[in-house]
A and B are shown apart, each in its own frame.
Chain A
Amino acid sequence: GAGVSQTPSNKVTEKGKYVELRCDPISGHTALYWYRQSLGQGPEFLIYFQGTGAADDSGLPNDRFFAVRPEGSVSTLKIQRTERGDSAVYLCASSLGVNSAETQYFGPGTRLLVL
């Protein structure tokens, strides 16, 4: 079946601009996670959703970052007033549920470059 998809695959923007990154989870998966990966580092957790609600947003670096999942499927990560330090690969993952036995499956990521 179809895996997790993310669009766009690459995004170049200028400092100060607003960007939206989209994630389409695997059909039927209720949990959706966002991670960010800087060059040479492992992915770092940002936020996760159980259904429509953000169950844990403790990884969001500041209030310029926001994510939504209005219908419990597709999610959008929104970054306001982008900074050069926001440049990274943004990864989305989904799983059937949130317990530890439920495997998270990752998308290919969106590579964001802020000039």
Chain B
Amino acid sequence: DAKTTQPPSMDCAEGRAANLPCNHSTISGNEYVYWYRQIHSQGPQYIIHGLKNNETNEMASLIITEDRKSSTLILPHATLRDTAVYYCIVRGHYGGSQGNLIFGKGTKLSVKP
């Protein structure tokens, strides 16, 4: 099972910041938080990942709480093309697996004009 909890859906106005929350209260010290998104009929697209520190790249910012039990993905100026399902994934070592991604149902973000 996925180790993350996300709201099933969110709306955001075009041009505004989209803040997508994720709870991962059972995260372990060596596990990363990854964010992917999937636009309809395409493969998942990598957005950003982090371990402890906040991270920023050309797509988004990732804010991880100090206790690492939750995080927020921020799209600073959402556009209609950001409409997609966003997946928050905790990635580490599970038994015999070597870091394969375990996807939940994600958050369906709808950016509206």
Chain A residue nearest to B105 in the complex (CB): A42
B interface, size bucket:
20 to 34
A43 with B32: CB separation less than 8 A: no
Interface residue ranges, B against A (CB under 8 Å): 2, 30-32, 34, 36, 42-46, 49, 51, 87, 91-93, 96-106
In the complex the two chains form, what is the Cα distance from A56 to B94 in whole Å? 11
In the complex the two chains form, what is the Cα distance from A108 to B30 in whole Å? 30
In the complex the two chains form, what is the Cα distance from A87 to B55 in whole Å? 38
A-B pair count, CB < 8 Å, reads 67
A interface, size bucket:
20 to 34
What are the 9 closest A-B residue pairs judged by CB atoms, nearest first?
A: A42-B103, A106-B43, A45-B100, A98-B98, A106-B44, A108-B43, A100-B99, A100-B32, A43-B103
Interface of B is mostly: loop
In the complex the two chains form, what is the Cα distance from A91 to B87 in whole Å? 15
B46 contacts which chain A residues (CB < 8 A)? 103-106
A105 contacts which chain B residues (CB < 8 A)? 46
| A30: min CB distance to chain B, Å | 12
| A13: min CB distance to chain B, Å | 20
Contact A50 B98, CB 8 Å, known A101-B32, A103-B49, A106-B44: yes
B43 with A91: CB separation less than 8 A: yes
